[in-house]
């Protein structure tokens, strides 16, 4: 009898001990995810609510299934592979690798202890948390392009004169609209997926019904965003950019999304009634559970699932704490990006009220200049002013990435995009061009910008994100954003950038290679 009691207690405590090992071993990645949950204006602000739902569903499923712990050794290989992916992400400071590996590690560990049949019922209760993990940010850019294409189709049916370049929609004589990250529809998609998977878990038994509901939820969530963006752009066009909806459209978007949930739940109720009419025999997961066989198998399963995670903790947890408290240098030292003989610095860090918004860079350089030639002329006040900004992260980690939601080239409440342009004098696809204008005023600011990630220049956010992957083959882990701005009256800002930007870019590259070229990741 004592033997049975010990085996029962081990069967209960074994997965709990594994979960503790999972939390300790992957702590740095978990902290980064929770930090994203606390940013209420991003796509993952529903994280805490989903976590509570997952815990409740898991407890409910545990009472139904009552899994018995054993040792199912074939699942050790997927567990080790998942841990290896996480370890590679930790070594190379690629946060996406860490985040992608989290759920495979968790489910592989449960599979080692419970086997396939006992773990399957927990796929949705535990797996719902995937819709709160920030590696899904990589979906934003494709969703932006789809949103642009759909709105291009809408406007082409109205006979409105417009043009599209990348994620910008231009209306001659009115202005331009940027289909930015927040307009991709990622927030609505993730919330729609969460709701439909949850409804299916609670109310639907058949896979076909769940697939139909999820497909309907995805389609209507995307449609809600397309309608929202179309209405905002059309109202801005019709009101000559004066409507309050152009600047304050978040609440409007959620009302549109709420409206699209009505047909989703009507479809869900129809699926429920259809299942009820089928009169099929229910399939109890507990009736086909795989039972553990004694204390030795329980100990073996617990040991095999937890040791790799404890090894992760021993290898990377001390390093993460050290990095989290490592002092940073707030400025770039000994930097010279412009010709000091030809350019005179000004006592200002902004250009006509504009400067980039960059969060928590390890090193920051911002300066404004005017050309010395002709500075004493009577029209000196009309001469072009330049801005040069260089923002660097010694290594990328949660809340300190060169591409993140808080990093923006301009404040959208005060500036609007006018047009994009190419810089032919710069190396191909290394710098992008954009002109912006302050709301209510006509004088534009011309910008050239590029990302220098682990020794590679990229001109777009998506490419800058992906540039971390080739970086695994070198010693570097740095990422920088170079921004060059110019404002002037009665001159061609694009031509001025064509002349100035390549030299500044070359100086920035040489400087960054000196600073980071011999550094080890995180060092």
Same-domain status, 358 and 494: yes
Q: Which of 463, 459, 461, 475 is nearest to 513 (CA)?
A: 475
Instruction: Determine, yes or no, domain membership for 235.
Output: yes
Same-domain status, 149 and 53: no
Strand order in the sheet with 175-178: 163-165, 168-171, 175-178
Number of domains in the chain: 3
Angle of the 140-156 helix axis to the 186-203 helix axis, nearest 10: 110
Instruction: Determine, yes or no, domain membership for 161.
Output: yes
Same-domain status, 306 and 348: no
Q: Which regions of the chain are under pLDDT 70?
A: 1-12, 92-93, 241, 246-250, 279-333, 373-382, 398-399, 425-426, 428, 440-442, 469-474, 518-523
Q: Which of 408, 434, 418 is nearest to 356 (CA)?
A: 408
Instruction: Determine, yes or no, domain membership for 285.
Output: no
Same-domain status, 356 and 480: yes
Instruction: Determine, yes or no, domain membership for 486.
Output: yes
Same-domain status, 63 and 208: no
Same-domain status, 377 and 317: no
User: Considering 278, 308, 334, which residue would you say is the last residue of a domain?
Assistant: 278
* Euclidean distance between CA atoms 415 and 287, whole angstroms: 63
Instruction: Determine, yes or no, domain membership for 65.
Output: yes
Same-domain status, 122 and 198: no
Same-domain status, 243 and 355: no
- Residue found by looking up tokens 């795989």 in the block: 290
C-alpha 451: how far from its chain's center? 17
Contact 216, 175 (CB under 8 A): no
Distance between first and last Cα of the chain: 57
E-only strand ranges, 324-377: 343-346, 363-371
Q: Which of 200, 214, 198 is nearest to 56 (CA)?
A: 198
Q: Which of 50, 65, 52, 60 is nearest to 197 (CA)?
A: 50
* Euclidean distance between CA atoms 61 and 202, whole angstroms: 11
Please give the structure tokens belonging to residue 348.
């200002």
Give the pLDDT confidence score for residue 523 in this predicted structure. Answer: 40
Same-domain status, 147 and 117: no
Give the pLDDT confidence score for residue 313 in this predicted structure. Answer: 59
Same-domain status, 434 and 411: yes
Instruction: Determine, yes or no, domain membership for 332.
Output: no
Give the pLDDT confidence score for residue 206 in this predicted structure. Answer: 87
Q: Name the β-bridge partners of 345.
A: 369
Please give the structure tokens belonging to residue 342.
């030809």
Domain range for 179 is: 141-278
SS3 281: coil
Give the pLDDT confidence score for residue 382 in this predicted structure. Answer: 67
* Euclidean distance between CA atoms 59 and 447, whole angstroms: 54
Give the pLDDT confidence score for residue 404 in this predicted structure. Answer: 80
Same-domain status, 36 and 16: yes
Query: CA of 207: how far to CAs of 198, 240, 283, in Å?
Result: 13, 49, 13
Give the pLDDT confidence score for residue 243 in this predicted structure. Answer: 73
Residues 326-384 have pLDDT tens digits of 444 466 667 888 887 778 887 777 787 889 999 889 999 998 888 776 555 545 556 78
Instruction: Determine, yes or no, domain membership for 459.
Output: yes
* Euclidean distance between CA atoms 517 and 509, whole angstroms: 10
SS3 20: helix
Same-domain status, 220 and 246: yes
Instruction: Determine, yes or no, domain membership for 73.
Output: yes
Other Cβ atoms within 10 Å of 104 Cβ, number = 16
Angle (CA) 208 214 218, round 5°: 145
Long-range Cβ contacts of 425-430 (<8 Å, 24+ apart): 425/498, 425/499, 425/501, 425/502, 426/450, 426/501, 426/502, 426/505, 427/457, 427/502, 427/505, 429/457, 429/458, 429/459, 429/463, 430/457, 430/458, 430/459, 430/505
């Amino acid at each position: 009898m004592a033997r049975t009691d010990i085996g029962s207690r081990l069967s209960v405590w074994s997965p709990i001990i594994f979960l503790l090992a999972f939390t300790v071993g992957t702590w740095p990645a978990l902290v980064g995810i929770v930090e994203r949950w606390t940013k209420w204006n991003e796509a993952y602000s529903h994280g805490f609510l989903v976590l509570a739902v997952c815990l409740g569903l898991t407890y409910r499923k545990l009472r139904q299934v009552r899994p018995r712990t054993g040792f199912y050794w074939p699942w050790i290989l997927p567990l080790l592979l998942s841990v290896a992916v996480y370890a590679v992400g930790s070594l190379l400071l690629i946060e996406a690798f860490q985040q992608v590996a989290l759920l495979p590690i968790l489910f592989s560990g449960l599979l080692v202890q419970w086997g396939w049949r006992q773990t399957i019922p927990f796929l949705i209760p535990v797996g719902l948390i995937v819709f709160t993990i920030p590696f899904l940010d990589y979906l934003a850019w494709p969703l932006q392009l789809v949103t642009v294409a759909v709105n291009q189709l809408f406007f082409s049916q109205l006979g409105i004169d417009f043009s599209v370049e990348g994620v910008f929609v231009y209306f001659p004589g009115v202005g331009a609209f940027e289909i930015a990250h927040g307009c991709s529809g990622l927030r609505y998609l993730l919330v729609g997926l969460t709701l439909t998977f949850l409804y299916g878990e609670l109310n639907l038994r058949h896979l076909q019904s769940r697939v139909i509901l999820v497909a309907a939820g995805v389609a209507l969530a995307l449609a809600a965003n397309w309608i929202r963006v179309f209405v905002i752009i059309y109202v801005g066009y019709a009101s000559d950019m004066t409507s309050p909806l152009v600047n304050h459209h978040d609440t409007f978007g959620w009302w549109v999304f709420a409206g699209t949930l009505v047909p989703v739940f009507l479809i869900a109720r129809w699926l429920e009634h259809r299942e009820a009419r089928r009169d099929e025999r229910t399939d109890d997961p507990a009736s086909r559970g795989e039972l553990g066989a004694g204390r030795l198998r329980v100990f073996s399963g617990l040991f095999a699932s937890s040791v790799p995670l404890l090894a992760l903790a021993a290898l990377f947890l001390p390093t993460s704490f050290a990095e989290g408290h490592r002092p940073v240098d707030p400025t770039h030292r000994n930097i010279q990006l412009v010709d000091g003989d030809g350019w005179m610095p000004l006592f200002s860090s902004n250009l006509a009220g504009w400067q980039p918004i960059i969060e928590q860079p390890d090193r920051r350089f911002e300066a404004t200049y005017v050309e010395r030639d002709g500075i004493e002329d009577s029209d000196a006040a009309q001469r072009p002013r330049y801005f040069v900004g260089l923002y660097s992260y010694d290594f990328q980690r949660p809340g300190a990435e060169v591409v993140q939601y808080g990093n923006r080239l301009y404040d959208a409440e005060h500036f609007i995009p006018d047009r994009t342009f190419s810089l032919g004098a710069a190396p191909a696809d290394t710098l992008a061009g954009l002109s912006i204008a302050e709301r209510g005023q006509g004088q534009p600011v011309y910008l050239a910008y590029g990302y220098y990630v682990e020794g590679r220049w990229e001109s777009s956010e998506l490419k800058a994100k992906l540039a971390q992957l080739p970086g695994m083959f070198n010693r570097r882990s740095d990422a920088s954003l170079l921004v060059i701005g110019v404002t002037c009256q009665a001159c061609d800002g694009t031509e001025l950038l064509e002349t100035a930007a390549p030299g500044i870019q070359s100086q920035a590259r040489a400087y960054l290679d000196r600073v980071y070229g011999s550094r080890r990741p995180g060092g």
